Structure 1
Amino acid sequence: MADEALEARPLSSVLHPKTADALSRHLSLETLGDLLEYFPRRYLPRGELTNFSDLEWGNEVSIISRVLSVTTRRMHSRRGSIAEVTVTDQLAHEDRPAQAPDFEGRLDALAGTAQTAASHPAGNIMTLSFFNAWTASKDLAVGDHVMFSGKVSEFKGQLTLTNPHYAVLSQPGAAVGEEPDPEAPLPPLPVYPATAKYPTDRIAAAVATLLDKVDLADCVDPVPPELHQRHRLPSLARAYRLVHRPEEEADPHRAMRYFRYREALVLQVILARRAAVLDSQRTEAYPPVGGGLLETFDAGLPFTLTAGQERVGREIRDDVGSVRPMNRLLQGDVGSGKTLVALRAMLQVADSGGQAVMLAPTEVLAGQHERSIRSVLGSLADEAGVVVLTSSMSAAAKRETLARIVSGEARIVIGTHALLGKHVTFARLGLVVVDEQHRFGVRQRHTLMGPDGTPVHRLVMTATPIPRSVAMTVFGDLSVSVLDELPAGRQEVATHVVSLATHPSWEARLWQRAREEIDKGHQVFVVVPTINDAAEDPSEPSEADRGLGGSRKSSAGTLQSVEGLSGRLTSLPVLAGCRIEALHGRMEGAEKSRIMNGMARGEIDLLVATTVIEVGVDVPNATLMIIMDADRLGMSTLHQLRGRIGRGGLAGTCLLVTEQDSEGASIPRLDAVASTRDGFELSSLDLEQRREGDILGDSQSGNRSTLRNLSVLRHATVIEQARTDAQDLVAEDPDLSNHPQLRQAVLEADHQENTEYLYRG
């Protein structure tokens, strides 16, 4: 035990075995380190009471209130007694702050001056019921300040807590039998993430026992002393005391400065070490070739590249022409021309005799890429040997395509996960382009290698704009390129929120508006969150897996679905004669391709689809998009969907349809989407609302893995400091041999389940 790190010791080595067992069962805490790292979620000022008006029905809460009366009565419906405790959120003396509520309350009671329940306004009192009548009536007295923990419910039209857990608050620091000092400042009261069976005061008691019985100086601090000094951080031992046993309001903030920096430093060291490994690797260089495919392609472009495309193109050209493997993230807003930039890189590799692969997450998107690349290359497509490989291809077509790949004849290869199979062999793979990278696991993205297992150049693309601080945290081992301007000819898309709850008659107008666009020779997308009405069954999740709108139902009783809505639209007189089709992710690949090809050729007037069309679908003639149940989708998804229209020089209109009224929880999100076309701004807003837990996760383990103390938006400065420090440390000491405690923390954290973060749009 003596050689075992303090943090690794079991809780039973310090706490009573029953307490240790309860912490394990209820909170999954096993070691001293687990409990020390179990931080309070908030702090209650001891001299203040919780405002009852802030309580909401159904929430689990911890409140501080003052006892006005305690009564006991026999229950009518069954044997036993019930204690009714009336409490208030008002202090005993409103003309001065209550510095020692427990002490003052007892003085009031002894003097007979405690206010009664009848003297309080109804909104300032609450009656709590206890079925353990004898215990509650014995423990609670008039004037006590008590922390009650439980679930807010309703009885006879009034909010209440039934049989809540309680803890009488006394003034800390007073010795047994000593009268507390009414003028002494009261420290904040930590409130821990708790469960109904293990409330916050029991957690606090376990933490207090731990703090009293161990020497926190024995804890392993991974932050080197020089960085403590540089950033004026408290020691780890002091940080633990500040966060668990604060003496003043600012103490937890001082502690969190250390814990946020520690987390950022460990993560950034992991990324810096990966970057150093990448720097040491070598691959084949594919420099530009004069008179080749790329030069011919550029000469034939009917438009001028944007300044951003030129800049990013040079960055990628230099990377691919180097023996150091390129690992670059290319992000840009909807319609910024990422695919064109990637194609130019693929042509550069093809010119030097190499092969380039573009991985797409769906067959719809892979087919779209093939069509658009063949279209823009024209006669060069055959010279470049453009092929596509998907799972739904016939066996004969697959054999032919695989033969062209293994021979090297196919120099530009487009496909889905089918390209990752063991039967796919490349002659000279030099570049892998991953489109919508968050749809691929880390192992999948690194399956494709060059000759003899050598690394290849990798270009990772995302159409979901990522705030710089997110990119720096999640993709710290990648170079980042940003396309932040739209090509000439892209038209503005006007976006409007349509509330059917406020204006039910507008539903008919939606389809009239669709008919007007169709009569002009244009096309319409209608997006819905589910495939069929049964998709609302929890066991049958909808394709709107990024929705945030809760369980709101449409007027029909279920969310709008592809099958249901397409059938209804076909029967509407206003759409009589219109060519209407449906598309969703469960269709066979050939059927999906038929429908998308028909939409691209103008053979379909109105397409009802799920979010399967979110990325990559190019229909220049589409001018109207109607998104039903838009409140079910995140802002980034809505922005991506909106980008499917206005692509062919025609102005577009996007209607965000919801059955929430103006007070609905999702209306601010929809209004934000309608107010701006800046995808980076929307991404930041989306992240603020959804928090990192929704976008930072493990790649394949299935376990939820998130940043614990850091917010990549709020703590960007801390992340930048840690990034610079980590790069300096790794440059001077790649193995961290001079920093063994940091090295140990990095080794423990650097396993795939915790550090292969992916951005989920």
Structure 2
Amino acid sequence: MRPEILFPFFKPITTLAGVGPRISVLLEKITGAHIVDVLWHLPTSYVDRRFSPTIAEAPDNTVVTLEVTVMKHFPSRNRPAPYKITCFDETGPLELVFFNARGDYLQKQLPEGETRIVSGTVERFNGILQMTHPDRMGTPEERDAIQTVDPVYPLTAGITNKLMGKTARAALEKTIPLPEWLDPAFKDRKKWQDWQDALKTAHAPQEEDDFYADAPARERLAYDELLANQLALALVRRTVRKASGRSIKGDGRLRKQVRDALPFALTGSQEEALKEINDDMGQPLRMLRLLQGDVGSGKTVVALLTALNAIECGMQAVIMAPTEILARQHMETIEPLLEGTGITPVVLTGRDKGKKRTAILDQLEDGSAQLAIGTHALFQEDVGFHNLGLAVIDEQHRFGVHQRLAMAGKGKHVDVLVMTATPIPRTLMLTAYGDMDVSRLLEKPAGRKPVDTRVMSLERLDEVAQGIGRMVSKGARVYWVCPLVEESDKIEVAAAEERFEHLQKLYGDRVGMVHGKMKGTQKDTVMAAFAKGEIDVLVATTVIEVGVNVPEATVMIIEHAERFGLAQLHQLRGRIGRGSAASTCLLLYGAPLSENGQARLKIMRETEDGFVIAEEDLRLRGAGEVLGTRQSGLPEFRLAQLPAHEDLLAVARDDVKLILEKDPDLKSARGEALRVLLYLFEEDASVTYLRSG
């Protein structure tokens, strides 16, 4: 249960003054549903209203706060015309300009003959100083409240900065002091404020330095968030580690059969990874290992040989993928390799219903299905196993920590191997996995050719569309990826449909399309047609990013490549270059390209090393963007900024080690405060590991 001291923080935002049902829907989009979410929504810049010159001294295009006498109102005669009010001070005139104004409101706010304070941006028009729609207006008694520094917040349509600021102030008023969870000596050394004061300071910037990652208030809050993250991971990991495992050491007969059937020798990295995994499985502790391998580095074979180790010991194994396309593709890769071994793998996805599903569940329950491949459908409560020994979770970053554990809970002492083709920078590795054991596949299988990557302007799109005809006539198969549209899936699908129609006019029914809004069966049908060569050009949204395998595809065209993150571009490029033919990737960009966009596309041209790309992506875009954390299961930090706070992450990790050595059950005064911290950052699930562990 959440501690009572935190109840005020988790009240709905509708309990704040001025936030009704309509506003709350808009606010939730940018903050979240609770008061604590508003607290984490920090300003990103500010407007300084402290400059108060005379009218004559006010520079153009500057925010100023002026004391003026209101002279006369000139209401607009028709709707489009502005409502004007002339004012003056001892140095000259000022004109206030309002569009779509309510005259009665302005007469009340700015009565003729009275002195008023107005604040806003001024500019000269025909030699007269003008202020259009002042941001603030008030009496001379209200000067101190007006002549301040206004924080500027990230906004969404329908939410003004004024409303956001008012909501943030209302949320801050609801805060109460919390017990100190920081090590006192460390806090003193850093000269950090208490948590509540740091929060108030971060919401009240006074100068540019207050927005830097190393501003003391922001640094303190970032450290709190990283400490909660590292503590939660350590508790989960300790639970997994503490659970005794079973020593799994197969006799190697099935693995030998499969190795003999492989049309290639394993790479040095694959052999090394298998040795590390087998050593782990042989221990009487539960395995929790991450296998990181770039696109096409041969993770599926490692997963299969690992699964066979468990099956040789009379256990069952599952291989879990994030999408149906990928699960069925694993099945297609694995099934032929198991011929003659007596093992018939089963596949279970959300699409399997009725009698078919019941039959598969029965096979898992009685142990006759030794290897299951599937999606998160394998997690569901009614899925039981006879004797599950190993869970392999592919594209790990699509599943959260707790889903990993749910899979491990499907059997007794289940070993877990998680795999990702997304090279994750070391900093993010620590936030997502703590100090998990890692194996890396660094080589590409023999015979893979480098992909020729070129960068071109979108203005040459028609030329590219015509050019793919020549490539197709030589037997090439082409992926055409449509631009990423953040705001809406609908627009993304519309973009794909438009490109599909354009290419269909040129190449008829040799063009197919897949996007996220299609039914699984439809997607599979189109993908199968592309794999068989019944269609030559596949127009797609990013659904093809993960794991689709068509060795004959040798051309990848990505529209508006500047909208994609490096990790995503790398994943997409990894869909080609899987066969022996030379492959080409065209990155089409929309002008003008930002400096950041140029740097990203340059890196794509220069290297195919996923780990180099991942580190560069983190440096250029920060962690919030890398891997598109929103859909990735990687923690999405609200206060910490990586890599800027990388050093704090290392400190937090070391701090957690010491805490759990001295106070494993978090029973001391600091331990109790740390429990509050976990709940504050909604790491509720990890607190249960304290009790259960």
Q: TM > 0.5 between the two?
A: yes
Question: Per the alignment, in what secondary structure is the counterpart of residue 383 of structure 1?
Answer: coil
For the pair 1:21 / 2:24, whether they are aligned, the reply is no
Corresponding letter in the other structure for 1:733: D
Question: Per the alignment, in what secondary structure is the counterpart of residue 434 of structure 2?
Answer: coil
Instruction: Give the 5 Å matches for 1:220-231.
Output: 220-229=179-188, 231=190
Query: Equivalent residue for 1:285?
Result: 247
CA distance in 2, matches of 1:360, 1:500: 34
Deviation at 1:223, TM superposition (A): 1.3
The answer as to whether partners of 2:324 and 2:520 remain within 8 angstroms in 1 is yes
Query: Equivalent residue for 1:716?
Result: 646
Cα deviations by residue, 1:264-306 (Å, 9 ceiling, x for unpaired): 212222222222222211232212x344222444466554444
Query: Equivalent residue for 2:160?
Result: 196
Corresponding letter in the other structure for 1:617: V
Instruction: Give the 5 Å matches for 1:463-474.
Output: 463-474=421-432
Query: Equivalent residue for 1:73?
Result: 73
The answer as to whether partners of 2:82 and 2:98 remain within 8 angstroms in 1 is no
CA distance in 1, matches of 2:73, 2:113: 17
Query: Equivalent residue for 2:109?
Result: 135
For the pair 1:624 / 2:555, whether they are aligned, the reply is yes
Cα deviations by residue, 1:159-212 (Å, 9 ceiling, x for unpaired): 9975333168999999x9xxxxxxxxxx9935153853845886798799x69x
Query: Equivalent residue for 1:507?
Result: 462
The answer as to whether partners of 1:431 and 1:457 remain within 8 angstroms in 2 is yes
Deviation at 1:8, TM superposition (A): 4.5
Cα deviations by residue, 1:368-418 (Å, 9 ceiling, x for unpaired): 11121234x2535x4333332345458665565445433433322212344
Work out which of the residue numbers 340, 346, 362 in structure 2 matches 1:387. 346
Deviation at 1:351, TM superposition (A): 1.8
Deviation at 1:460, TM superposition (A): 2.2
CA distance in 2, matches of 1:162, 1:394: 63
The answer as to whether partners of 1:749 and 1:755 remain within 8 angstroms in 2 is no
CA distance in 1, matches of 2:129, 2:516: 46
The alpha-carbon distance between structure 1 residues 471 and 201, as it changes in their structure 2 partners (threshold 3 A), is closer
The answer as to whether partners of 1:536 and 1:559 remain within 8 angstroms in 2 is no
The answer as to whether partners of 2:152 and 2:161 remain within 8 angstroms in 1 is no
Work out which of the residue numbers 352, 355, 367 in structure 2 matches 1:408. 367
The structure with the largest alpha-carbon Rg is 1
CA distance in 1, matches of 2:9, 2:552: 66
CA distance in 2, matches of 1:295, 1:733: 48
Query: Equivalent residue for 1:184?
Result: none
Cα deviations by residue, 1:330-377 (Å, 9 ceiling, x for unpaired): 3332222222222221122122221111112333212211121234x2
For the pair 1:165 / 2:121, whether they are aligned, the reply is no
Work out which of the residue numbers 248, 267, 275 in structure 1 matches 2:229. 267
The answer as to whether partners of 2:291 and 2:419 remain within 8 angstroms in 1 is yes
The answer as to whether partners of 2:622 and 2:643 remain within 8 angstroms in 1 is no
CA distance in 2, matches of 1:6, 1:352: 49
Deviates more, 1:690-699 or 1:471-480: 690-699
Query: Equivalent residue for 1:323?
Result: 284
Work out which of the residue numbers 419, 422, 433 in structure 2 matches 1:461. 419
The answer as to whether partners of 1:526 and 1:625 remain within 8 angstroms in 2 is yes
The answer as to whether partners of 2:252 and 2:309 remain within 8 angstroms in 1 is no
Deviation at 1:73, TM superposition (A): 3.4
Scaled by the length of structure 1, what TM-score is found? Answer: 0.70
The alpha-carbon distance between structure 1 residues 188 and 333, as it changes in their structure 2 partners (threshold 3 A), is farther
CA distance in 2, matches of 1:138, 1:480: 74
- Bigger helix share: 2
Corresponding letter in the other structure for 1:260: A
The answer as to whether partners of 2:49 and 2:148 remain within 8 angstroms in 1 is yes
The answer as to whether partners of 1:83 and 1:133 remain within 8 angstroms in 2 is no
Query: Equivalent residue for 2:691?
Result: none
Instruction: Give the 5 Å matches for 1:176-255.
Output: 189=149, 191-193=151-153, 196=160, 198=162, 219-229=178-188, 231-236=190-195, 239=198, 242-243=201-202, 253-255=215-217
The answer as to whether partners of 2:18 and 2:167 remain within 8 angstroms in 1 is no
The answer as to whether partners of 1:286 and 1:321 remain within 8 angstroms in 2 is yes
Query: Equivalent residue for 2:434?
Result: 476
Identical counterparts, % of pairs:
33
Cα deviations by residue, 1:417-446 (Å, 9 ceiling, x for unpaired): 443345543221111112223444666544
Scaled by the length of structure 2, what TM-score is found? Answer: 0.76
CA distance in 2, matches of 1:227, 1:391: 50
Deviation at 1:605, TM superposition (A): 3.2
Deviation at 1:675, TM superposition (A): 4.8
Cα deviations by residue, 1:75-113 (Å, 9 ceiling, x for unpaired): 2427999454799xxxxxxxxxxxxxxxxxxxxx66x4x
Deviation at 1:317, TM superposition (A): 2.0
The alpha-carbon distance between structure 1 residues 696 and 21, as it changes in their structure 2 partners (threshold 3 A), is same
The answer as to whether partners of 1:72 and 1:82 remain within 8 angstroms in 2 is no
The alpha-carbon distance between structure 1 residues 168 and 476, as it changes in their structure 2 partners (threshold 3 A), is farther
Cα deviations by residue, 1:210-237 (Å, 9 ceiling, x for unpaired): 69xx9x8x54322131332454534446
Question: Per the alignment, in what secondary structure is the counterpart of residue 346 of structure 2?
Answer: strand
Work out which of the residue numbers 388, 393, 406 in structure 2 matches 1:429. 388
Question: Per the alignment, in what secondary structure is the counterpart of residue 228 of structure 2?
Answer: helix
CA distance in 2, matches of 1:718, 1:752: 23
RMSD of aligned Cα (Å): 5.2
CA distance in 2, matches of 1:631, 1:243: 32
Q: How many residues align?
A: 653
The alpha-carbon distance between structure 1 residues 526 and 663, as it changes in their structure 2 partners (threshold 3 A), is closer
Deviates more, 1:392-401 or 1:730-739: 392-401
For the pair 1:349 / 2:310, whether they are aligned, the reply is yes
Query: Equivalent residue for 1:105?
Result: none
Query: Equivalent residue for 2:675?
Result: 743
The answer as to whether partners of 1:293 and 1:384 remain within 8 angstroms in 2 is no
The answer as to whether partners of 1:285 and 1:320 remain within 8 angstroms in 2 is yes
Query: Equivalent residue for 1:615?
Result: 546
The answer as to whether partners of 2:294 and 2:610 remain within 8 angstroms in 1 is yes
Deviation at 1:754, TM superposition (A): 11
Corresponding letter in the other structure for 2:216: R
Instruction: Give the 5 Å matches for 1:656-735.
Output: 656-657=587-588, 660-662=590-592, 668=598, 673-683=604-614, 689=621, 692=624, 695-696=628-629, 706-735=636-665
The answer as to whether partners of 1:46 and 1:189 remain within 8 angstroms in 2 is yes
Question: Per the alignment, in what secondary structure is the counterpart of residue 469 of structure 2?
Answer: helix
CA distance in 1, matches of 2:39, 2:342: 64
Corresponding letter in the other structure for 1:259: L
Deviation at 1:257, TM superposition (A): 2.3
The alpha-carbon distance between structure 1 residues 500 and 140, as it changes in their structure 2 partners (threshold 3 A), is farther
The alpha-carbon distance between structure 1 residues 262 and 408, as it changes in their structure 2 partners (threshold 3 A), is same
For the pair 1:600 / 2:572, whether they are aligned, the reply is no
Question: Per the alignment, in what secondary structure is the counterpart of residue 648 of structure 1?
Answer: coil
Instruction: Give the 5 Å matches for 1:79-94.
Output: 82-84=83-85
CA distance in 1, matches of 2:65, 2:610: 46
Corresponding letter in the other structure for 2:587: L
Query: Equivalent residue for 1:636?
Result: 567
Work out which of the residue numbers 459, 464, 475 in structure 2 matches 1:521. 475
The answer as to whether partners of 1:188 and 1:248 remain within 8 angstroms in 2 is no
CA distance in 2, matches of 1:359, 1:345: 14
Question: Per the alignment, in what secondary structure is the counterpart of residue 317 of structure 2?
Answer: strand
